[in-house]
Amino acid sequence: MTEVDILILSNGPGEVTTWVRPVVKALRQELGDDPSLVRISVVLSPCSNASGKEAAIALSYPEVDRVQEAEHFWQFLLWGKTFENWDWRSRGVVVFLGGDQIFPVVIGKKLGYRTVVYAEWEARWHNWIDRFGVMKPKVAAKVPAKYAHKFTVVGDLMLEAGESLDSNSSLASPKTELIGLLPGSKAAKLSQGVPLTLSIAEYIHAKRPQTRFVIPVAPTLDLQTLASFADLKKNSIAEIFGFGGASLIVPEDGRGKALLKTTTGLTVELWQENPAYNLLSQCCICLTTVGANTAELGALAIPMIVLLPTQQLDAMRSWDGLPGLLANLPGVGTPFANVINWLFLRFVRRKGLLAWPNIWAQEEIVPELMGKLQPQEIGEMVLDLLAHPEKLDNIRAKLRNIRGESGAAQKIAQIVGEEIG
C-alpha cells in the first residue's frame, strides 16, 4: 500500500467519544496497524460544549498517531499549517466526524485529499464532498439525483457504544435495581442537578431499599468539584430542594469506588471510567439533565427522565439549543438572560422536544419535566415506572426504533478504503 494520511476532523466531547473512537478502531482493522503506511491524525475544531480535554481523550486512543487541539484550528483552516507544522503525505482522506461540514471541503482542497463526511441528519456541499456515509436513508432522500452515487447508508455511529459493552461485568444483581444519576458537567447545571437528583434518590431509597444509585462522573469533572455542589455551605441553592447535604468519601487505599454519602445515610457510587456505557447499560432508568447525554442514553436504549429545573433560571446558560444560545448572546447579563429564558419557557418551548430522543422522534418518548421540580413528585414517577416494568420496556422499544442500523464504523472505514484505492 502507498503511504497515506487519514485526517479525522471532530470537535466536542460527545463526538470524540462516540464517533471518533469506533471509527479509528475500524480504520485500523480495515487498513492495518502500521503507521508508516497509514497514519491517523485528529484535528479538533472549536465547540461550545468542549471541556478542553478532547485532545487528551483522542490521543489516548492507541489507533491515533497525532492530535491537534481546537485552539489552533483556525490557523490550520486558513493556512493549511498545523501548530506543530506537521508533514502531510501526497495521498490521503479527510474524514468528517463533527464540526461544520464546510471544514472538510476547505481542508480537503488545501491538502489535495479525498473527503468523506458522516452525516447524521443533514448532508451539505454535495458537489464538493466526495463521499457521504449517512445514518438513515431519509438523509440521502433529500439530495439531488445527480449526487446520489456519493451516498451510502452506514447506520448510527452511536450504536457502536452499545455493541462494545462487556456483558461479563455487572454492578446490579438480579435483586438490585441500579439507577443512574447524570446531573451535568457544568456549574450552572450541577448547582441544581446534584441536590435535585440526590434528593430524588433519597426519596426512592426510603421506599425501595434494594435500589442502588450511581453517578457516571463526566471526564471534565473532578470528585471534589462534584462534591462541592452537594455541600450546603458551598451551594446555597441545594436547600431549595429540601436537600440535607452529602460528603465525599474516597477510599484511602485507592481500592473501591469513591462515594457521596448523604445525611440520610444513602451512598451513591461515583464512577470515573469513561465512557461509562457498560455501567449505563445496567441501569433500569436514568435521571438526567438535557444535553448530549440524552443522545448517548437514547442510543443505548436506556429509559430516562429528563430534568429541567427552573429554580435558577440562569442555569439555562448551560443548556444546548435555542435557550442556551439566546442566554449566551454577547453583552447579555443574568437579568436579561432570565427574561429571555422566562419568555422561552412561557411561549416558545414545545413539549417533548428538548431531549435528543424526542427530537429524533418528533414526539415525547422519554418524559421531559420542566419547572420548579420537587424531588417527591419525580420520585413517585420513578417508583411507578419501577413498579410497572412494562412501561420501561415500552420506552426501550421506542428508543431502539428511532435509531439507525449498527455497524456504521466498519462501513465508514470501508468507504475510506475505497477512496484511498
Mean pLDDT of 287-301: 87
- In single-letter form, the type of residue at position 284 comes to C
Find out whether 219 and 57 touch, Cβ atoms under 8 Å: yes
Strands in 258-262's sheet, in edge-to-edge order, are 246-249, 258-262, 267-271, 211-216, 177-182, 285-289, 304-309, 368-371
In the prediction, which pLDDT does 166 show? 40
Model confidence at 52, in pLDDT bands (50, 70, 90)?
A: confident
Find out whether 279 and 180 touch, Cβ atoms under 8 Å: yes
**Residue 289 pairs with which residues in a beta bridge?**
307
Burial 201-234, CB ≥16 within 10 A → b, else e? bbbbbeeeeebbbbbbbbbbbebeebbbbbeeee
Sequence-distant (≥ 6) Cβ neighbours of residue 416 within 8 angstroms: 6, 27, 30, 31, 93, 95, 116
Q: Other C-beta atoms within 10 Å of 90: how many?
A: 11
In the prediction, which pLDDT does 327 show? 52
Count CA within 13 A, CB hemisphere, residue 304: 34
**What backbone torsions phi and psi does residue 129 show, to the nearest 5 degrees?**
-90, 140
Helix 389-402 to helix 375-387 angle (10° resolution) is: 90
DSSP 232-249: TTT-GGGGGGT---EEEE
Judged against a pLDDT cut of 70, whether residue 12 lies above it is answered with: yes
Mean pLDDT of 333-361: 63
For the chain, domains (ranges, CATH) are 4-158+405-420 (3.40.50.2000), 177-402 (3.40.50.2000)
Looking up cell 482493522, which residue turns up?
A: 29
Q: For 224-250, how does the pLDDT look when each residue is reduced to its tens digit (9 = 90+)?
A: 999 999 999 999 888 889 999 999 999
In the prediction, which pLDDT does 372 show? 87
In the prediction, which pLDDT does 165 show? 46
State the first-to-last Cα distance of the chain, in angstroms, to the nearest integer: 9
